[in-house]
Structure 1
Amino acid sequence: MQEKFKRETITALATTLNAQELKQVDFVLSIILTRYEITEKTTEIVAYRDGLPEEIKSFLVSKSIKGLTKASLAHYKRTLIHFSNNIGKDVKAITSNDIKLYLINYEHTHDVSKSTLDDKRRVLNSFFTWMVREDIIDKNPMLRIDPIKCDKRMREPLTDIELEQMRNAAVTLREKALLEILYSTGARVSEITALNRSDLDYNAGRVKVFGKGKKERYCFLNARAQLAVKKYLFSRLDKEEALFTAGKKPYNRLGKGTIEKEIGNIGIRADINRNVFPHLLRHTFATHMLAHGASIAEVQTLLGHESPATTQIYAKLDLHKLHAVHQRCII
């Protein structure tokens, strides 16, 4: 087991140390490990025997008060439970080295992407930053742990042709309404699931949505979206308040998974050779807004982003436009 531990440690450090430094680490480990008996610890998630640590409970309560969605809270809880169970010590006594070893071990045992690993880091950073702010600990062990670099893949928005293919492939009135409202508003799928009939204002051509942190904002409906939603609601036999419901009794509100599946199926029928999902329509909305002259600040407001930097990722310049500008300017 000592040899396995040494081998995995050397492998983990190989990306940051040169050959000479690795030899030195190997030599030092060989000496140190002769004095210890090492056994492999399980990485399976197990129930925290004494319940969640009080610090984690309080942290989750604070996040709930701040307005995090149930899905986000569940993600934070899962991450922190796994971390607590695998660290095996009081959260107030955890060091930077403990966290580094946890992240390295998690990456190797779960074969996850860098982006997934960095998501773990962000949750831990939020938790320990909160602990410092609440005077539970004096020093933040996350300060010595840098963000994990990962390749950022820019999703291509739907082309005009692909968007029309989607429209032609939408069969039911609900599919048509979902497609048009997602594209016209640029809203998150979680925001669409929460919409009620009363949130619609046909006279003003807008809909009231509640975004992250339960922040209220207005999104707008183009003529296609207004007509599609009106037709869908007129066809409904139920009197449920939810804007989108199941087609059969008890007419439950549509969930995130159902909407994602419905949009994905439209994409398959449209013969678009890539995955189509609600966030791709949000991406397409933002890209089209910016391409037709909307400012970053305007699109930021419509998308419900707190930071303009988040919106900036959609401001990718079109290569055809760049070529046209180049031809116009360079003789």
Structure 2
Amino acid sequence: MVEQVISKVLMEMMGKGIDELKAVLYCVLSGYDISEKSTELQSVDESWKEELGAFLVRKRVEGRSDGTIEQYNLHLSRMLRYINKPAKEITESDLFMYISMYKKQRNVSSVYLDNIRLVFSSFFGWLNNKGYIAKNPAAGLDPIKAEKRIKKPLSDTELETLRRKCVIKRDIALIEFLYSTGVRASELIALNRQDIDFNSMDAVVYGKGAKERETYLNAAACMHLKEYLNTRTDGNEALFVSLKAPHDRLTVSGVEEILRRLGKATGIEKVHPHRFRRTMATNILNKGMPIEEVKEILGHAKLDTTLIYCQVNKENVKHHHRKYMSA
């Protein structure tokens, strides 16, 4: 019913200004009996807990990370508690109103909001497939459009500036390792000393979906990593640790803070782990590595994801156009 009323208002407002909104609302709403929702304490429905638990177990079996499972649980629990209905009674209108409220109250980006929509779609799609509900209420939710901004990699000058600003052996080893391997921050912090093979200059990491892949170190990454490890006197097996005792394994937030400080010290904006990943991918693509091999290095399941990471050098495009289009 709410969706029908909104649709009528929107149709009546086509080509009209804001000043006419009041008149349109009076006209449209005159055909409805409107009463304020009761503010009395309502009973709390938690019939969805078993279904949510089964869904999360399924996602864990599929190999989703703990962080991803936590995000699924957070967004779904929050939505289900707010709507306060059994899952089988939730409608597309309920979800649309919740998403609209969420955006207004939390002022989140369209990209973030669309990720929440995808979580809802996955959950209700699974319920529908398993026969828990007759219809998927999220099926009609349109993707939330967001402005696509090109996320720039670090330039050669910026990369060198960051290198020269490092006064701690751990920090130069960290940025060289990130740049050479293109690993995610979560993959980096899970590595141990024995995971590195300096002879073959590679390492095995476990990425998203518990997928194993091989990553590679260049000469600079090997050299700085060896120097860093030789300075350590702690017994922690972790590849990168904190400087202060008891020298705990670095966390994702710890890595981000190290890079944030380097960025602030050099005046370079948005220095974070993923930017080194993007920089590596862009550089090896522009130097001629096939996109399929770049995909394998990054551990992507789809080629489209790799293309998002890689910013093609326009000069290379121009050069190859002349080369292949010449008479």
Displacement after TM superposition at 1:136 (Å):
1.5
1:134-145 → structure 2 map (5 Å cutoff): 134-145=130-141
Supply the distance in 2 between the matched residues of 1:206 and 1:14 (Cα, whole angstroms).
59
Partner of 2:283: 288
**Is the counterpart of residue 299 in structure 1 residue 294 in structure 2?**
yes
Supply the distance in 2 between the matched residues of 1:189 and 1:79 (Cα, whole angstroms).
23
Displacement after TM superposition at 1:207 (Å):
0.8
Displacement after TM superposition at 1:51 (Å):
8.9
Contact kept? 2:48, 2:86, Cα under 8 Å: no
CA shift digits 1:128-187 (9 cap, x unpaired): 122123222232222111211111211111111111011111111110111011000000
Contact kept? 2:45, 2:85, Cα under 8 Å: no
Displacement after TM superposition at 1:83 (Å):
0.2
CA shift digits 1:210-254 (9 cap, x unpaired): 000111000000001001111111111112111111223222110
**Is the counterpart of residue 158 in structure 1 residue 154 in structure 2?**
yes
Supply the distance in 1 between the matched residues of 2:312 and 2:79 (Cα, whole angstroms).
41
Partner of 2:72: 76
Supply the distance in 2 between the matched residues of 1:251 and 1:293 (Cα, whole angstroms).
41
Q: 1:91 to 1:38 in 2, by over 3 A?
A: same
CA shift digits 1:264-302 (9 cap, x unpaired): 111222232x12101000000110010011111101100
Partner of 1:36: 35
Q: List gaps (5 residues or longer) in structure 2.
A: none
Contact kept? 1:208, 1:217, Cα under 8 Å: yes
Partner of 1:64: 60
Supply the distance in 1 between the matched residues of 2:164 and 2:40 (Cα, whole angstroms).
54
Partner of 1:126: 122
Partner of 1:116: 112
Within the candidate set 301, 309, 312, 1:314 is matched to 309
Higher mean displacement: 274-283 or 18-27: 18-27
Secondary structure class of the residue paired with 1:31: coil
Q: 1:208 to 1:75 in 2, by over 3 A?
A: same
Partner of 1:193: 189
Q: List gaps (5 residues or longer) in structure 1.
A: 43-47
Displacement after TM superposition at 1:78 (Å):
1.1
Equivalent position amino acid for 1:140 in 2:
N
Aligned identity (percent) is 37
TM-score (normalizing by structure 2): 0.87
Partner of 2:253: 257
Supply the distance in 2 between the matched residues of 1:251 and 1:167 (Cα, whole angstroms).
23
Q: 1:246 to 1:141 in 2, by over 3 A?
A: same
Partner of 2:86: 90
Supply the distance in 1 between the matched residues of 2:11 and 2:77 (Cα, whole angstroms).
29
Partner of 2:270: 275
Supply the distance in 1 between the matched residues of 2:81 and 2:12 (Cα, whole angstroms).
28
Secondary structure class of the residue paired with 1:268: helix
Aligned Cα root-mean-square deviation (Å):
3.0
Supply the distance in 2 between the matched residues of 1:201 and 1:326 (Cα, whole angstroms).
41
Runs of 4+ in 1 over 4 A off after TM superposition: 13-17, 19-26, 39-42, 48-52, 322-331
Supply the distance in 2 between the matched residues of 1:238 and 1:178 (Cα, whole angstroms).
18
Displacement after TM superposition at 1:319 (Å):
2.8
Contact kept? 1:10, 1:25, Cα under 8 Å: no
Displacement after TM superposition at 1:40 (Å):
7.8
Supply the distance in 2 between the matched residues of 1:330 and 1:206 (Cα, whole angstroms).
41
Q: 1:88 to 1:226 in 2, by over 3 A?
A: same
**Is the counterpart of residue 240 in structure 1 residue 236 in structure 2?**
yes
Equivalent position amino acid for 1:28 in 2:
V
TM-score (normalizing by structure 1): 0.86
CA shift digits 1:65-96 (9 cap, x unpaired): 22222222221111111101111101122111
1:171-182 → structure 2 map (5 Å cutoff): 171-182=167-178
Supply the distance in 1 between the matched residues of 2:177 and 2:167 (Cα, whole angstroms).
15
